[in-house]
Structure 1
């Protein structure tokens, strides 16, 4: 670090905001939290921390001139009281908490940045997923780690079958998108909203798929790219299972990756080996710039996902 950032107090004062990490599959979010906080504590304590307070003592016989001595207080020494920065000093929250089996972009807020993660969560930003499924087996929880419940043939399934089902699912959700907004789909108001772009559902509990397509088909495996909102992992896994049944077979999910959350994408995510103080500070600065350039990510004032001027620029 530079001489300016060697001061731990200065670094602590700027350690506020959100940053973008890549969560690996098989890791619990609480494990991610404890790992990041542990790394931040380690790096902050390696900087120039506050020196021990001085202990003033007045020594000598009371009937003579006494002497005043000043020395470091052992009661405030790091070897006695422990490191200056402890895990309990940190606050940390997630804007999109990925479950254990999922991997991908996860936005974390540290200290005062936790308030920003709440705003990002309430904004219900679109998420981009890459989901892989395997035909021929139905499993518990619709995931590869579950035990097998049912088997079926899959060799008759063609890519065209999956493409047609994806198109039908997308069309059904786009129709439902208008119904959930409380607007008559045959009205002029619905036309004006549709001309501005995709519509945000009024109810944040209703999953909405804006795009779903099969990007790879190597039977019995297939890969879907999904753009959605208000979803969760269980919904994505059940979607793969539903596709299996609709092609007259069965299927389960084997992989879930979140490649983008709003304008935060996987290219700028920090891998686990980069979860340290310097990289997190750089990511905080980068995420601050993204939010500043796209203020509608935290303050929605319209039914569309992005303002009309942003759509025109795209």
Structure 2
């Protein structure tokens, strides 16, 4: 591992995939990442203070030229060599306060890649947990219970049937927004090209939804969607409970996939150090190359 800070600094750019804990804001997570990077960078071999040339003596007589340490450039005077304002970091996907999971950050010139991913509207996958029998005022477990109901009549088959109908409804809606008939040749050609994306980025669309765990009253959904947001997913659980002639609220949300990035690639906070972050940047760069060659690539060789 190279210990010279300038070499590390030149290679510290690109996309980094991290794991966002629940009840932790994206802004706070960004600040924590910057703080950790600053700490680690300043522990390396940083640039020494620059000496200055001193010309002393009487101008009418012989002058003496000497090189002296420049105390004005010393870290104890100007502060650490690497400071938090030196880092430019932006996120490519925003996760709400209650949502955990895959979060992508663009470092330095990697902010261009982050912007491209954000504007490319990549599909995401979530694991959403809920519980039947109770409805809260905010559709989440932290809210006040406003209604209780029976839930033992709800079977897995009932839920899977409704989820299948909901998925079909969203797929039909996508083709309607494109102005084509689902049974036409044009619809087939559009489907072959890949996921249909709504022109309006504010319209949530579900590509797939299924129940992966059902232990009444608890259940877990896996949702593949685009343009979603935390409140939408929580209200979706509430709607499912209502349609099944019961009530329900969300207990946990986790983003398990963002485009080609999964939980396997996400760095936990305890693994935030320069070596792991540089390795993660290299992995993310390779994922971007494999999934979309149009995304701007970084040309630096990681150390």
TM-score (normalised: structure 1)? 0.90
Structure 1 position 144 matched with structure 2 position 141: yes
Would you say the 8 A contact 1:36–1:276 is kept in 2?
no
Alpha-carbon distance between aligned partners in 1 of 2:97 and 2:68, rounded to the nearest angstrom: 52
Q: Secondary structure at the match of 2:196?
A: coil
CA shift at 1:182, angstroms? Answer: 2.3
Residue equivalent to 1:232: 229
Structure 1 position 265 matched with structure 2 position 262: yes
Structure 1 position 173 matched with structure 2 position 170: yes
Alpha-carbon distance between aligned partners in 2 of 1:79 and 1:33, rounded to the nearest angstrom: 27
Structure 1 position 284 matched with structure 2 position 278: no
CA shift at 1:157, angstroms? Answer: 1.5
Structure 1 position 221 matched with structure 2 position 221: no
Provide runs of 4+ in structure 1 moved above 4 Å: 61-64, 296-299
Structure 1 position 91 matched with structure 2 position 92: no
CA shift at 1:15, angstroms? Answer: 1.2
Q: Secondary structure at the match of 1:141?
A: coil
CA shift at 1:97, angstroms? Answer: 1.3
Alpha-carbon distance between aligned partners in 1 of 2:91 and 2:229, rounded to the nearest angstrom: 15
Unpaired runs of at least 5, structure 2: 297-303
Larger CA deviation: 256-265 vs 147-156: 147-156
Q: Secondary structure at the match of 1:201?
A: coil
Would you say the 8 A contact 1:33–1:92 is kept in 2?
yes
1:34-73 correspondence runs (5 A) = 34-62=31-59, 64-73=61-70
Deviations 1:100-152 (A, max 9, x none): 11000001101111111111011111111100001111112211111112111
Would you say the 8 A contact 2:96–2:229 is kept in 1?
no
RMSD: 1.6
Q: 1:75 aligns with which of 38, 61, 72?
A: 72
Change (3 A) 1:197 1:61: closer
Q: Secondary structure at the match of 2:138?
A: helix
CA shift at 1:197, angstroms? Answer: 4.6
Unpaired runs of at least 5, structure 1: 300-314
